[in-house]
Amino acid sequence: MPSAASRVTVEIDPPIAHLRLDRAPKRNALDDATVAELKAFFTAPPDVRAVVLDGAGDHFCAGLDLAEHVARTARDVTAHSRGWHAAFDAIQFGPFPVVAVIRGAAVGGGFELAAAAHVRVAERSAFFGLPEGQRGIFLGGGGSVRITRLIGTSRVLEMMLTGRRYSAVDAERIGAVHYVVDDGAGLAFGMQLARAIAGNAAHSNYAIMQALPRIAEMTPAEGLFAEAMTASLMATEDESRERIAAFLGGKR
Ligand code: 1HE
């Protein structure tokens, strides 16, 4: 049953939820209402095992709603940025993996939003840019942390200075997206990936999305210890034993 919210449409087809930024006339620019709806979804999630996130119309997301931003004071901008951090953290470190399907623009905050997802599928029309320098602003939705980790600080710096846009194919080359598919094929492919993800043990998916990025920030010694602890917690779940036994019993 589809349920329409004002900015984000949620459609549940168990075990997958399909979230769609639904503000095509403004190219799905992220105003406060949209970010609040995204955060609300991920902090009080329905009983699903994976999410597909895309945008209505020809563009995934035009980033920050610039019309809302013009009158903000320095203090407002800090609070706004921290609000985005909380919302995008709720996505990255939420209850289930998120597959972003990107067509057209994923620029500024739109790229930052895509970077908070766990798997990124780009249709050939997709392009990625960070026009903050052109607008006289800066990243504020976690891009300094997440996008730099995806493609490296040097590339982010160069994109921001020169206004360079990466095509879908180039985005895959530099590690910004995992897949490039034909125009119009993204949602079906994203759903297929989400169903594969949902077929994993939920506790493993949770550990993969929660532990891996944190371990990546640890010293090697800390990381190896955290990895061993995570491994022991995962492997001793009843479901893990059942899955391993099923494999050994010939089930593929
Ligand atoms: C917007 C926004 C927006 C479009 N805020 N209203 N983001 C940007 O600098 C990107 C700005 N947008 C664009 O570059 C283009 O709109 C697109 C390449 C995404 C799409 O182009 P196009 O030709 O299909 O659409 P358009 O004609 O540019 O825009 C259609 C409408 O959406 C128009 O409004 P209208 O009332 O005149 O019809 C635009 O004003 C509106 N619109 N993008 C507000 N972003 C927390 S820090 C994050 C920092 C950033 O994200 S900086 C990057 C901001």
pLDDT, mean of residues 125-136: 96
- pTM value > 0.85: yes
Interval 210-220 mean pLDDT: 97
Ligand 1, atom 11, lies closest to the CA of 62
Cα–Cα distance for residue pair 24/54, rounded to 1 Å: 11
Residue closest via CA to ligand 1's atom 10 equals 62
Give per-residue pLDDT as tens, 37-90: 999 999 998 999 999 999 999 999 999 999 998 889 999 999 999 999 999 999
Q: What crossing angle do the helices spanning 32-43 and 74-92 adopt, rounded to 10°? A: 30
Q: Which two tokens stand for residue 88?
A: 């995008």
Question: Taking a C-beta distance cutoff of 8 angstroms, is the pair 99, 52 a contact?
Answer: yes
pLDDT-above-90 percentage for the chain: 93
Residue bearing the CA closest to ligand 1, atom 13: 62
Alpha helices in the chain (DSSP H): 32-43, 66-69, 74-92, 109-116, 132-135, 143-151, 153-162, 168-174, 186-198, 202-216, 220-235, 238-248
Domain architecture of the chain: domains with CATH: 8-198 (3.90.226.10), 202-248 (1.10.12.10)
Per-residue pLDDT band for 2 (boundaries 50, 70, 90) equals very low
pLDDT, the chain, mean? 95
| Ligand 1-lining residues (CB < 6 angstroms) | 26-27, 29, 59, 62-67, 81, 84, 105, 107-109, 131-132, 135, 137, 139-141
Residue among 27, 26, 198, 18 nearest 100 (CA): 18
| pLDDT one-digit tens code per residue, 175-197 | 999 999 999 999 999 999 999 99
Token pair recorded at residue 23: 């503000």
